[in-house]
Amino acid sequence: MKKTLLSCFLATLLFLSGKLFSQTYQLTGNPVNTTGWDLVSSAVVNTDFIQLTQDVGNQYGAVKLSAPINLKYCDKWKVEFDFRIDGNGTAQFGRGDGFTFWYLANPPTGFVSGGGLGIPANANGLMVGFDIFNNTTEGQMSKVHLLYGTNNGLNNNIEYNTTPGSTFHSPDLNPTQPFVGATYKHVEVNGETDLTNPTNWLIKIKIDGVLIVDQSFAPSAGAIGMTTGYFGFSAATGGASARHSIKNAKIYIDKVPILTNTITPFVCTNPATGNGTVDLTSFQNQFVTNPSNYIFSYFGPGGTPITNPTNFQYSAGTTTITVVVKDPSSTLCDNGDGQIVLTPTPFAATDVTLTGCNNNNAGGAIFDLTSAAVTTVVGATKKFYNTMYDLNNGINEITNPTAFLSPAATIYVKVTTPQGCVDVADITLALFPVVVVNEATLRSCSIEATPSMASFNLTAAAVTTQTGITKKYYPSLADALNGTNEISTPTAYIAPNGVIYIKVTNGNGCYAIAKVTLVVIPPVFSIVLKDKIICMEDKTTLDAGPGFASYEWSTGATTQTITNVGVGTYWVKLKTGECVATQTVKVYPSEQPVITNIDISNNTATINVTGGTPAYQYSMDNINWQDSNIFKNIPRGDATIYVKDAYDCDPIEVDFTVPNLINVITPNGDGINDVIDYSALANKKNLVFNIFDRYGAKIHQGDKSNKYRWDGTIGGRKVPTGNYWYSVSWNENDKKNTPFKYSGWILVKNRE
């Protein structure tokens, strides 16, 4: 190395992947971004690289971080950069001298002669030089020099520093790795703590992927105990000349990520002792997201380890605690940037007002006293009392502070910090204005299909005049209080007579509950409109009666009455107020009477009738009518009976026959009156012809086998002369199969 200064660069990358956070110090971009860096002397930005020196003699240039980096707790780091040394050199000395990457406690700030590669005399730290000038032969070379100590050798040149265990000098790499040329060379420098000797660093250096250095270095001289320094690069020329350039410089320091560097919790001293205690471990989650992933160490003033961090005692004045966060997996460097600054201050609790809702005018609100922000001290305890007397004497502590029912009042809270400091605060309990509601009644027309029910628009209930409120509807008071079973269709709520409840809530979240009575308006029907019975052929008038707002008949009529109405079913919609009731009325045909049977005795006929509506009237000619059902002196042969009931409808009629009967027979074989013969009635249904003696015993039955005849014999023997009874019955061949019965007596004369 002749007279060169290495350009100073630091790129520190802290990266986050899982639990890994990355911060990058780098010189990249086009043009190169030098924010956070200092350019020294002749160093300038030249497009995408930093030019440390021009190709002239006695040039010096450096670039360094503006702020130092603390590596005390970092057990591994990595540096990458590209360098290029080119130029014409001088006729006498050629090109020189080279450049240095370093981590120095006292970096260069001005001109440094060429022989030291830009490193100041007595610089302390780690220096890695890339030397191209052999000061002994004054010829060209390519050597790597490493010093972990103080630059105090011959001519302040690390080429001549041979401190045992702290230095390294490579062979001349010019044949295989020449440093001079038009292309950039890529350098990687890896450092990590030597676990066999934690004060040493294991350093590996690669140039274009070729391992040049791999050994442990012990700090010497001014580097012993060094924890803070500046990363940078420098280069210098002397009698020789060369252009020294770097780019894409990055330094990676992978430390445990912390969320904040300094925590200043509230602490106070106990007036009785002048001291206080604090649990330092309680702040771990303010330093890192997952404290359980790391190991924490605490150091007091002067770096004294704190052995009991959960109960650290401090006194008045400021005490600064250093917090070291270590990754037990060794993936990350330790982070020693954390601090807990304890500055005791007098403790004072803050008076607070809590405002609650006097819901449903219950006489007070339910307050969560623990929510009163009387202090921001973490871990402080609170005890609540109704009076200062109770607080001072430690009696009658409020046992339900999270749900304390109270009217407007003042509550007293005793606040004790983890350090034992005590103060008292007032908690004023205030009430929001109450929500004013009124009971209401809703009336609605009944539903035609279910007259006991109606559809109510609950939103129309005038329960409050206040604005900015919301309403919810519930079927019971318990539901309204608990917020359960809310009515989902309040504009069309189907219900019978009863009540519902409206929960009215204002903008403060306070509520009152109003009761709403539901009244189903029953249908109003006509009391004069009745079913009617008329003759099938007749017409009638239907009258719904007066008093309704409107009428609408199934016939289309809109009048109170409708006329010329025949048998059938009709309806009318009757409007009363806003309600409409549909009433059905029927016009029935009158039931016609039925002739059950006709009894004929000689020339007398008795008509027996059922059904219809008595009284009946009877006629043989449909002109002349009588009330009696008996007709006498009816001539023999076919006849017709007419019957009508009280409705005087078209009569029913039945045809019948009065037989031509013989009252005396003389069965003597002369062909005159020898037999009783009813064969003329053989076409009648169910024709029955019977002869009875005077004792009522049947002695003969006429049927098809004897052609409905009797010749005055029993079993072929003549009956004694005398009177005998007979009966003839049948059903007429009409729609009703009207039964007829004809009876009388007959004289049989037999010659003995």
| DSSP letters for 587-648 | EEEPPPEEEEEEEEETTEEEEEEEES-SPPEEESSSSS-BS-SEE-SPPSEEEEEEEE-TT-
Q: Which residues of 336-373 are buried (b: 16+ CB within 10 A; e: fewer)?
A: bbbebebebeebebeebebebbbbbeeebbebebeebe
Residue 72 and residue 183 in one domain: yes
Please list, in sequence order, all residues whose beta carbon lies within 8 angstroms of the beta carbon of residue 375, skipping any fewer than 6 positions away: 347, 349, 350, 415, 417, 425
| Among 728, 732, 639, CA closest to 692 | 728
| pLDDT value of position 105 | 95
Kindly state whether residue 9 falls inside one of the protein's structural domains: no
Residue 631: inside a domain: yes
Flag whether 4 is in a domain. no
Query: Which residue is associated with the tokens 């359980």?
Result: 292
Residue 2 has pLDDT above 60, yes or no: no
What's the mean pLDDT when you consider all of the chain? Answer: 89
pLDDT exceeds cutoff 50 at 290: yes
Position 181, amino acid: G
Say yes or no to pLDDT of 15 above 50.
no
CATH of the domain at 471: 2.60.40
pLDDT in tens, 153-181: 777 889 999 999 999 999 999 999 999 99
Q: How many structural domains is the chain composed of?
A: 7
Do 189 and 75 fall within a single domain?
A: yes
pLDDT exceeds cutoff 60 at 221: yes
More confident position, 76 or 651: 651
Residue that is last in its domain, among 520, 554, 573: 520
Domain boundary among 368, 397, 432: 432
| The predicted structure's pLDDT at residue 7 | 27
| Average pLDDT of the residues in 537-550 | 94
**Which of 28-42, 112-126, 401-415, 532-546 has the lowest average pLDDT?**
112-126
The whole-number pLDDT of residue 560 equals 96
Whole-number Å distance between alpha carbons of 49 and 589: 118
Query: β-strand 470-474 against 493-495: which pairing, if any?
Result: unpaired
Whether residues 568 and 583 fall in one domain: yes
**Distance from the Cα of residue 470 to its chain's centroid:** 20
> Same structural domain for residues 273 and 387?
no
DSSP labels for 99-159?
Answer: EEEEEESS---S---GGGTTPPTT-EEEEEEEEEEETTTTEEEEEEEEEEEE--SGGG-GG
7 found inside a domain: no
Residue 11, domain member (yes or no): no
Residues 93 and 209 in one domain: yes
Q: Is residue 599 part of a domain?
A: yes
Say whether both 485 and 575 belong to one domain. no
- Residue 477: phi and psi, rounded to 5, are -65, -40
Alpha-carbon gap, residue 444 to 496, rounded angstroms: 10
Choice among 6-10, 535-539, 706-710, 719-723 with the minimum mean pLDDT: 6-10
Same domain, 49 and 86: yes
**Percent of the chain at pLDDT above 90?**
62
Give the pLDDT confidence score for residue 10 in this predicted structure: 29
Share of the chain above pLDDT 70, in %: 95
21 compared with 489, residue with greater pLDDT: 489
Q: Comparing 548 with 702, which gets the higher pLDDT?
A: 548
3-state SS string over 463-523? CCCCCCCEEEEECCHHHHHHCCCCCCCHHHEEECCEEEEEEEECCCCCEEEEEEEEEEECC
pLDDT at 24 over 80: no
76 part of a folded domain: yes
Q: pLDDT higher for 292 or 726?
A: 292
Lowest mean pLDDT among 60-69, 72-81, 205-214, 554-563: 72-81
Tokens 């009048």 map to which residue? 559
Domain with 341, as residue range(s), is 262-346
What per-residue confidence (pLDDT) applies to 752? 56
Q: Which residue has the tokens 């204002």?
A: 506
Please indicate whether residue 364 or residue 727 has the higher confidence score (pLDDT): 364
pLDDT value, residue 745: 79
pLDDT of 238 reads 83
| Whether residue 180 sits in one domain with residue 63 | yes
Mean predicted confidence (pLDDT) in 196-224: 96
Let me know how many helices (H) and strands (E) the chain has, helices first.
3, 56
CA distance 130 to 141: 10
Which has more pLDDT, 448 or 656?
Answer: 448
Q: Are residues 150 and 202 in the same domain?
A: yes
Q: How far is CA 64 from CA 34, 274, 530, 719, in A?
A: 10, 48, 114, 166
Cβ contact 581:558 at 8 Å: no
Range name among 39-53, 93-107, 651-665 with the lowest pLDDT average = 651-665
Instruction: State both tokens at 118.
Output: 């830009």
| Residue where one domain finishes, among candidates 252, 271, 295 | 252
How many Å apart are CA 712 and CA 692, to the nearest integer? Answer: 11
Pair (451, 568) in one structural domain = no
5 assigned to some structural domain? no
Considering only residues 718 and 209, tell me which one the structure prediction assigns the higher pLDDT: 209
The pTM of the full predicted model, rounded to 2 decimals, is 0.47
Instruction: Enumerate the β-bridge partners of residue 324.
Output: 297
pLDDT recorded at residue 335: 83
Say whether both 269 and 414 belong to one domain.
no
pLDDT band per the 50, 70, 90 thresholds, residue 331: low
Residues 152 and 187 both lie in one domain:
yes
Give the model confidence (pLDDT) of 249-282 as tens digits. Answer: 998 877 788 899 999 988 888 877 888 889 999 9
**Residue 740 pLDDT grade (very low, low, confident, very high; cuts 50, 70, 90):** confident
Q: What is the pLDDT of residues 645-656, one digit of tens each?
A: 988 888 988 887
Q: Determine the pLDDT at residue 12.
A: 31
Is the pLDDT higher at 131 or at 198?
131
